[in-house]
Amino acid sequence: MPTAAEQQVAVMGLGYIGLPTAALIARSGAHVLGVDVSPDVVDTINSGRIHIEEVDLDGLVQGVVARGLLRASLAVEPADVFVVAVPTPVSADRSPDISYVLDAARAIAPVLAPGNVVILESTSPVGTTEAMRDLLTELRPDLRMPTAGSNAADIAIAYCPERVLPGRILVELIDNDRCIGGITPRCARKALSFYRRFVRGACVTTSARVAEMVKLVENSFRDVNIAFANELSLIADTAGIDVWEVIALANRHPRVDILQPGPGVGGHCIAVDPWFLVHSDPHNARLIRTARKVNLAKTDHVVARASDLIDRFPGADIACLGLAFKPNIDDFRESPAVDVALRLARRYGPRVKLVEPYASAPPADFAGTSAELLDLEVALERCDVFIVLVDHDIFKSVPLDERANKTIYDTRGIWRGE
């Protein structure tokens, strides 16, 4: 494999994972081409700016673009390593959609050359890396693709999922351990050599199918645990008990660690990935399916309870605090807060105000509604009913005297006792 300074890397997809990954690889000294389908994204990055919100990413991208180590394009070019970081959503029937992965493979195929390494990072159903290999085999019959039990291959293909927390992506891409699964052990070793150049965490090699399942298991584990907290919140609500006090006291047990409830589960991973396991084995994935249903039902419960509260104050303006899927980020993908606020906006029209410090305009979901985006200070002056959906730090900082005369439904436990 070429040295870091000589290495040419192409990163397919410049979203919340692809762009930080591309920038970190570039900082290690490699020459990186970021490929995206959006001309706006390409132009933004080539000007040294970013289109997403992430701590310290703006300065990093500006620096590597200025040094000529990172550039963006709509077209793929030859490279030594291809990293695929495109979306893998679920379809309307909750089956996995790997079409973006296969489209990326089709884009890469014409420029592949012997010695190249192709790494899939997108969270994927078990078998997706092999499906990508099979498509490349079909498109490039002149190249030998890796097969289990044989080291005779021109191309190395591996799977290495990210394990990052929005708001800490740059730190965790470097420091977190990586699980690297190869179609063959030699593929895994070649991918390992690539990651060792910019990852400080431990890099453990395995098969592609194991690595794919590891990623799904990690997110399904969290979904199941959040479902327990959300179900507990409903039981405590029925009993008239403060669920956050219950959890805090229960967690004093040395072997209990209950997560915090909320209006559901969001994000591009935890709210999506468990369905991949359910789809792969619907008969046995009973607990995982139930957890998904519990978390989806919690969002319905929040909408119903918020509506009951709002109906008690006809004509009052309603502030929905937060739209992101977790605090202190601008990521609204699969956000239960968006779902709640959107359903309330459709029911109560212009009375619903959106308060989201990480947005400059309402997300696209609100097109066709009359929901207005307000600054927090304006909302505190104008609104009488507050639905707390996200625990942004700025919301936590509002003192009691500024909200003492407000009617509050707090799904996050930041304004407890009111």
What span, in angstroms and rounded, lies between the C-alpha atoms of 361 and 356?
9
- The tokens of 161 are what? 């999922």
DSSP string, 162-178: ----TTSHHHHHHHS-E
Catalytic one among 187, 203, 269, 383? 269
Active site residue 203: no
What span, in angstroms and rounded, lies between the C-alpha atoms of 231 and 345?
26
What are the respective helix, strand and coil percentages of the chain, to the nearest 5? 45, 15, 45
- The tokens of 308 are what? 């009951």
Residue 327 CB: number of other CB atoms within 10 A?
A: 18
Phi/psi-derived region of residue 149, left when phi > 0, alpha when psi is between -120 and 50, beta in every other case: left
DSSP string, 84-133: E-----B-TTS-B--HHHHHHHHHHGGG--TT-EEEE-S---TTHHHHHH
The number of angstroms, rounded, from the C-alpha of 340 to the middle of its chain's C-alpha atoms is 19
Q: Are 394 and 324 within 8 A, CB to CB?
A: no
Catalytic one among 215, 298, 326, 353? 215
Indicate the SS3 state at residue 352. strand
Active site residue 406: no
Largest CA distance in the chain: 73
* Catalytic residue IDs: 215, 269
